Amino acid sequence: MRHFYFLAILILITACAQVTPLTGGDKDGYAPAIDSAKTTPYSGQLNFEGDEIQMKFKEFIKLKNPNDNILITPQQTNAPLITSKNKKLSILFQDELIENTTYTITFNGAVQDITESNDSVFQYVFSTGDYIDSLTIQGKVTDAFKNQGEDGMLVGLYPYERSIEFDSVPFKVKPTYLVQTSSGGTFEMNYLKDGTYYMFAFDDRNKNLLLDPTEKRAFLEGQLLELYEPIKDVSLKSYKPQNDECKIEDVEFSFPGSLEIILSNPADSFSVKSDILLLQEDTGADDSLIFWLDENPKSKMKFFTYLNGKRDTLKPIYKNIPDKVEDVKIKSEHNVVKAKLLPNEDLKFTFSEPVNKVDKSMIRVFDKDSNVVEMPEIIANVKELSFATAGTSIYEVVLDSGAVTSVFDRVNDSEIKVKFENYEEEYYATLFLNVDTSFFEQVIVELINKKGIVVEEQIFKQKMTFEKLLPGDYQLRLIFDVDNNGQWSPGKLSEAKVPENVIYYSGLVNIKAKWEKEVEWNFK
């Protein structure tokens, strides 16, 4: 056992990795300073036997969210009474302090001067025994799938107990020691007692210091942590627990007549009905659905949902109604970028409201020499108009004012004109990926564009080819598919199963039009 013997030590830390970073307000040298001679116990005192800490500052102070910004470890069963008056701060413990135990109190901007609200981050330490525990743990919490540091996650240390099942610990027991991760997901726990512990991290959104069923969490793969010397580089991979239940999470009914429904998971079957015909917009997602009324909405509308065979009734509030409905105009956008369409891509217009009528007599099409050409097939799909222009001589399309009428009887009030050409087939690029290692488990390789969309997925081989790629920056991702289910699997606390490993290529891969790119991915 390692102990730190001394008579007194003052610990004032202006930045500490084990608490959430301060936000707002300038930090300067005029934050309240402790008057050590009039503070009991003094920071670093041994053999403390009282039940109250009285801290004296050198100026008048006020408290800022003390229940959130003052962290005491080991944790108390009952929260202490924290008060301030003039230059004094009092912490009155409601629990009897444990014998031969080091207590650490972290002030995360909780103490401010009364005039300018200047504050600081500092720690205050004392012991009920004849030594100060000195063991430390340093580590990092990262999102298991994104590999990004988790800011503001609570990291808790729990003494090992045989009587409590591993997967029940964070649900039933509050941590003895706790810190919060800083920006980047790093954390540091100080003044720890030696022993065997569990370690959990979770997003304690309701601040009850207990893991709740829906909260993001992380835990050590080996379950137990043996702490008998300082530990560095502890790695915790966080994940959101998987819930296969499908239910409606959110509903929004907005002007001029859209009904957006968010599901917790894709449904086996889902439909919506009302007194007015509904048109479903193609969102490209199975859990984010948008329906449009086929005419102007009535007052106090009801919608009947059928989710996996179960009927329910929705009575959403109609929102976002403009002050002057008569001034609303339908807007449009198209898929032409810098006067170009992709190879074999048709011209498409997307309107702000579902299309009801198209007057072809008010639409003109021209070739590159401004000659009028035959009208292509026009297909309407809710808010989209698709012109079958690919493979034709069409160079320009003009929609006169009033050519398009929405289901809400609004028209395009100005001319829409667009000129375009299709890229040649050779516009696409090719990526050759070479990896210098092999893996025992099945590995999924994903190519991701700058919008975070997976454009192609392959089962790992040491040499892979990705064809017909658009120019741009891409990211490469490896998913170690241990359970062979063809997708990334999060962890499962009830089975002490950590999330599947995910590795990202170190940088972006820039793909240029008409080029072949070769990338060597070397594992050390």
Per-residue pLDDT at 14 exceeds 80:
no
* Alpha-carbon distances of 110 from 62, 105, 122, 123, 327, rounded to whole Å: 8, 11, 10, 12, 51
Looking at the structure, do residues 8 and 129 belong to the same domain, yes or no? yes
Domain boundary (301, 319, 337) is at 319
Confidence of residue 523 (pLDDT cuts 50, 70, 90): confident
Q: What pLDDT is recorded for position 339?
A: 95
Looking at the structure, do residues 283 and 218 belong to the same domain, yes or no? no
Per-residue pLDDT at 115 exceeds 90:
no
Looking at the structure, do residues 224 and 269 belong to the same domain, yes or no? no
What pLDDT digit, counting tens, does each position of 264-294 carry?
989 999 999 999 999 999 998 889 999 999 9
- Arithmetic mean of pLDDT, 160-189: 91
Residue 121 maps to which CATH number? 2.60.40.3710
Residue 344 maps to which CATH number? 2.60.40.1220
Q: What pLDDT is recorded for position 185?
A: 94
Considering the domain boundaries, does residue 343 fall inside one? yes
Looking at the structure, do residues 255 and 359 belong to the same domain, yes or no? no
Residue 288 maps to which CATH number? 2.60.40
The residues, ordered by sequence, that sit 6+ positions from 317 with a Cβ below 8 Å of its Cβ are 253
Considering the domain boundaries, does residue 296 fall inside one? yes
Considering the domain boundaries, does residue 243 fall inside one? no
Domain boundary (133, 158, 179) is at 133
Considering the domain boundaries, does residue 217 fall inside one? yes
User: With contact defined as beta carbons under 8 Å apart, do 20 and 65 qualify?
Assistant: no
Considering the domain boundaries, does residue 298 fall inside one? yes
Q: What pLDDT is recorded for position 243?
A: 83
Q: What is the C-alpha R_g of the chain?
A: 31
Closest CA to 199 of 180, 214, 171, 178: 178
Helix (H, G, I), strand (E, B) or coil at 303: strand
Looking at the structure, do residues 420 and 348 belong to the same domain, yes or no? yes
Domain boundary (133, 150, 177) is at 133
Q: What pLDDT is recorded for position 188?
A: 92
What pLDDT digit, counting tens, does each position of 389-418 carry?
999 999 999 999 999 999 999 999 999 999
Confidence of residue 16 (pLDDT cuts 50, 70, 90): very low
Looking at the structure, do residues 122 and 173 belong to the same domain, yes or no? no
pTM, 2 dp: 0.77
> In the chain, how many domains are there?
5
Considering the domain boundaries, does residue 324 fall inside one? no
Looking at the structure, do residues 176 and 202 belong to the same domain, yes or no? yes
Looking at the structure, do residues 420 and 512 belong to the same domain, yes or no? no
Looking at the structure, do residues 432 and 409 belong to the same domain, yes or no? no
In terms of residue numbers, what domain contains 499? 428-521
Residue 223 maps to which CATH number? 2.60.40.10
Choose the weakest-confidence range: 2-16, 24-38, 230-244, 264-278. Answer: 2-16
Per-residue pLDDT at 381 exceeds 80:
yes
Q: How far apart are CA 238 and CA 490, in angstroms?
A: 9
Closest CA to 1 of 195, 232, 196: 195
| CA 41 to centroid of chain Cα atoms | 42
Looking at the structure, do residues 123 and 198 belong to the same domain, yes or no? no
Looking at the structure, do residues 267 and 166 belong to the same domain, yes or no? no
Looking at the structure, do residues 123 and 19 belong to the same domain, yes or no? yes
